[in-house]
């Protein structure tokens, strides 16, 4: 057994020309009850921090929005879809799509033009002939 452990993903930093606006968008979208915690603009989401940082080496809009996608597993993708539409009027890159009965997948765009992917695993389909004895 190797003495080295795989690293733990502690966080993702989103550089922005307007990190306050981006923090507020993500808070509204995925963590409505969250409050600012000191000076750092961040949200703890499922054990990983999403951090919003002011950067002067990025454009106001992402030049290649599909290069890195922040991916969120949600419990109810249809409820998430409704929430995002009603509270933020998001731009859908890919509407909620059934991916061969295994997962639902959707992609939205954040205010900086980054693509955000949502997914929900589907329950395995039961074979109606399973358990039918002869």
Residue 129, domain member (yes or no): no
Residue 96, domain member (yes or no): yes
pLDDT in tens, 83-102: 999 999 999 999 999 999 99
Kindly report the three-state secondary structure assignment for every residue of 30-73: HCCCCCCECCECEEEECCEEEEEEECCCCCCCCCCCCCCCEEEE
Residue 112, domain member (yes or no): yes
Residue 57's CATH number: 3.10.180.10
Residue 55, domain member (yes or no): yes
Domain that holds residue 82: 11-121
Residue 5, domain member (yes or no): no
In whole angstroms, what is the distance from residue 63 CA to residue 107 CA?
A: 17
pLDDT in tens, 108-125: 999 999 999 999 999 876
pTM for this predicted structure: 0.85
Domain count, the chain: 1
């Amino acid at each position: 057994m190797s003495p080295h452990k795989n690293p733990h993903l502690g966080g993702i930093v989103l550089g922005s020309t307007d990190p306050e606006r981006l923090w507020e968008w993500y808070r509204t979208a995925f963590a409505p009850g969250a409050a600012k915690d000191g000076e750092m603009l961040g949200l703890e989401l499922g054990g990983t921090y999403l951090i919003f940082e002011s950067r002067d080496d990025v454009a106001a809009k992402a030049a290649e929005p599909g290069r890195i996608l922040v991916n969120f597993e949600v419990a109810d993708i249809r409820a998430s879809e409704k929430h995002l539409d009603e509270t933020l009027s998001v731009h859908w890159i890919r509407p909620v799509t059934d991916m061969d009965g295994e997962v639902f997948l959707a992609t939205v765009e954040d205010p900086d033009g980054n693509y955000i992917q949502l997914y929900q695993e589907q329950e395995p389909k039961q074979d109606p002939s399973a358990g039918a004895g002869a």
